[in-house]
């Protein structure tokens, strides 16, 4: 794990932190001496991770579909601590064809994947110090590769890219940087269980410039960089962490 001394003592807020990439980021920020406030709907996994890491890892169950719960999360923890870094990681990625996608399913996906990011940014903004901060919004390589049966999901990820670009301009005068982190296909426990079969492994090896599969810790390292002063010149950008897949 990469070490960034300037993250020590920072207050990091992270959504979807109980499993997968989110849990890897919670561990990485905590390992860099940050105080990590993380939320998820999986209370069992979230409580277990907080207990494993001990002081400095604060978990709360939050339903990101509910505006009041997002607001309460920040209202309870932000006033005494502030928000130095916000990582909007939580998302769902269903595989649903166009004709099978109901209007309700479309709205729910946008609420969880895009509206929740807007709400988290809005609620965090007043608590970011005058010295500045970093917001990291997660999109996906799928915006560039456009896989079939994921049109609704890809649309939410395109919206995140647009939201990030505009928000970077709006918050820049306050020294708040806003960037998008777009991972490739990451070998999380869920992906390995549900989607990564021999054909997918061959596709990954063929499509990436560097063939080795990406692990959650690889993405956590990129998030550390975007949160740290090492990336102080970068805002309004998309960082593709995909081992070159979208380049091919």
Instruction: Considering the candidates 138, 153, 163, 225, report the single residue annotated as catalytic.
Output: 153
**C-alpha span between 20 and 40 (Å, rounded):** 12
Q: Nearest CA to 114 among 40, 200, 173, 122?
A: 122
Cβ-proximal residues to 27 (8 Å cutoff; 6+ apart), any chain: 1, 49, 53, 220
Residue in the block written with tokens 């309700």:
104
**C-alpha span between 73 and 68 (Å, rounded):** 9
Q: Within 13 Å and on the Cβ side, how many CA atoms surround 105?
A: 15
Cβ-proximal residues to 33 (8 Å cutoff; 6+ apart), any chain: 7, 8, 9, 56
Our answer to whether residue 153 is catalytic in this structure is yes
Sequential DSSP letters for 101-152: --HHHHHHHHIIIIIHHHHHHHHHGGGS-TT-EEEEEE--THHHH--TT-HH
**C-alpha span between 219 and 217 (Å, rounded):** 5
Q: Which sequence positions are flagged as catalytic?
A: 153
């Amino acid at each position: 794990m990469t070490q960034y001394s300037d993250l020590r003592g920072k207050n990091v807020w992270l959504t979807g932190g109980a499993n997968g990439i989110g849990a890897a980021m919670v561990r990485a920020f905590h390992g860099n001496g940050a105080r990590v406030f993380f939320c998820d709907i999986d209370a069992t996994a979230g409580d277990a991770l907080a207990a494993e890491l001990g002081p400095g890892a604060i978990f709360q169950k939050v339903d990101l579909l509910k505006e009041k719960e997002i607001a309460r999360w920040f209202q309870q923890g932000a006033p005494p601590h502030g928000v130095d870094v916000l990582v909007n990681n939580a998302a769902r990625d269903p595989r649903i064809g166009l004709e099978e996608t109901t209007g309700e399913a479309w709205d729910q996906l946008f609420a969880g994947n895009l509206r929740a990011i807007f709400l988290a940014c809005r609620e965090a903004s007043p608590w970011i110090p005058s010295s500045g901060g970093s917001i990291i919004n997660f999109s996906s390589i799928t915006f560039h590769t456009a896989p079939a049966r994921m049109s609704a999901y890809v649309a939410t990820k395109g919206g995140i890219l647009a939201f990030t670009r505009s928000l970077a301009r709006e918050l820049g005068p306050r020294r708040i940087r806003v960037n998008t982190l777009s991972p490739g296909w990451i070998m999380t426990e869920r992906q390995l269980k549900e989607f990564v079969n021999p054909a997918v492994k061959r596709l990954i090896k063929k499509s990436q410039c560097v063939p080795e599969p990406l692990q959650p810790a690889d993405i956590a390292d990129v998030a550390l960089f975007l949160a740290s002063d090492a990336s102080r010149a970068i805002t309004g950008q998309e960082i593709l962490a995909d081992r070159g897949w979208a380049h091919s």
